[in-house]
Amino acid sequence: MVAHESVDDVLETVAAVAPDVRDGLPGRRLTEAGVENPSGETVTAADVHADELFFEALGAIDGVVEYASEERESVVDVGDGAPGDGNVAVAIDPLDGSSNLASNNAMGTVVGVAEDSLPAAGEALVAAAYVLYGPITTMTVAREGTVTTYVLDGGEMRAVEEDVTLPEEPVVYGFGGRVPDWPDAFREYAREVETELKLRYGGAMVGDVNQVLSYGGIFAYPALESAPNGKLRLQFEGAPIAKIVEAAGGASSDGEQSLLAVEPTELHQRVPVHVGNGAYVDRLEAALAD
């Protein structure tokens, strides 16, 4: 098998499983799983269910040899051999923004496909995608330098927008964390941005990034005084989202460099995430460097 066939299989499988994840949400509303994930966060029954569905389906693909999830402590070997030579590793945030289930707001799934063992840097990703469980279930895929958005119809991928690019005139911003917890330099930057753009923050990274991809602007979950690496995880959130935003003509940063260049040292490490139009990311980096 060659790598692109494994990548096709992974993307088609994520698309096929996503409707089942969605169908499983109503019955798991307001149900905690009673455990913490490796990041020390409360896990909902919906997080566990999504992880199980993706693990079963993705782990069964011939060319997938490693599976790592935000909900699992370590990488699981699910095939013979190592990533490379047609084999791939899959890193997944099975349900992003799952605290939005209680309030019935948008959530997502984020997936990165690498030809390297996990944890792998964003530069090693051969494809990245997110599913958005909004009024419509869509899937946005970055592959071979271009981004395509699909509507998922009964698990089938129907392309609705090819060569997705960030609009040149930015319109929206969304920043996570509490204002008093933001470092001074970020707070000053945010004060400027809020005079220029409209606030769009829904509390699920996938939904908030999709606003930026649709209207242009910037999304950030920055470093916090109480958490210098922010909240989001490099492997499961920052790197795949950066791959998609950069392939769509935007930029990403951990505050100093592209998120794709950040070398992971731990599977669940966190990283400050800033993604959006290049001009806003450049200004952010300049503001943090002062």
Ligand X SMILES: O=P(O)(O)OC[C@H]1O[C@](O)(COP(=O)(O)O)[C@@H](O)[C@@H]1O
| Residues engaged in binding Mg ion (CB under 5 A) | 70, 93, 95-96, 237
Return the closest-CA partner of residue 151 out of 132, 129, 127. Answer: 132
Q: Please give the backbone phi and psi of residue 121, each rounded to the nearest 5 degrees, phi first.
A: -70, 160
Residue 145 CB, shortest distance to ligand X, in Å, is: 26
Residues 6+ apart with CB under 8 A from 198: 171, 172, 173
The count of residues interacting with ligand X (CB under 6 A) is 13
Q: Is 198 annotated as a binding residue?
A: no
Residue 98 CB, shortest distance to ligand X, in Å, is: 5
Whether 217 and 280 have beta carbons less than 8 Å apart is answered as yes
| CA–CA distances in Å: residue 13 to residues 2, 136, 174 | 17, 18, 31
Q: Which is nearer to Mg ion, 189 or 200 (CB)?
A: 200
Return the closest-CA partner of residue 235 out of 116, 134, 132. Answer: 116
Q: Is the dihedral of CA 24, 125, 229, 169 positive or negative?
A: negative
CA geometry: angle at 238 spanning 235 and 240, to 5°? 75
Q: Single out the residue of 28, 231, 243, 274 in contact with ligand X (rule: CB under 6 A).
A: 231
Residue 279 CB, shortest distance to Mg ion, in Å, is: 27
Report what 288 binds from ligand X, Mg ion, none; CB cut-off 5-8 Å by kind: none
Position 51 contacts ligand X (CB under 6 A): no
Position 176 contacts ligand X (CB under 6 A): yes
Residue 211 CB, shortest distance to ligand X, in Å, is: 12
Q: Which residues pair with 275 in a beta bridge?
A: 219, 252
Report what 221 binds from ligand X, Mg ion, none; CB cut-off 5-8 Å by kind: ligand X
DSSP SS3 for 182: coil
| CA–CA distances in Å: residue 167 to residues 138, 146, 164 | 19, 15, 9
Q: Is 93 annotated as a binding residue?
A: yes
Pairing between β-strand 42-44 and β-strand 64-69 as defined by DSSP bridges: unpaired
Q: Which is nearer to Mg ion, 93 or 115 (CB)?
A: 93
Residue 118 CB, shortest distance to ligand X, in Å, is: 17
Q: According to DSSP H, which parts of 128-204 are helical?
A: 184-196
Q: Which is nearer to ligand X, 34 or 145 (CB)?
A: 34
Q: Which is nearer to ligand X, 79 or 272 (CB)?
A: 272
Write the binding mask 179 to 208 for ligand X: x where contact by CB under 6 A, - elsewhere. ------------------------xxx---
What residues numbered 73-132 form the site for ligand X, per CB under 6 A?
93, 96-99
Distance in angstroms (rounded) separating the CA atoms of residues 60 and 82:
15
Q: Which is nearer to Mg ion, 96 or 115 (CB)?
A: 96
Token pair, residue 24, equals 């499983």
Q: Which residues are annotated as a binding site for Mg(2+)?
A: 70, 93, 95-96, 237
Contacts to ligand X by CB under 6 A: 41, 70, 93, 96-99, 176, 203-205, 221, 231
Q: Which residues are annotated as a binding site?
A: 70, 93, 95-99, 201, 231, 237
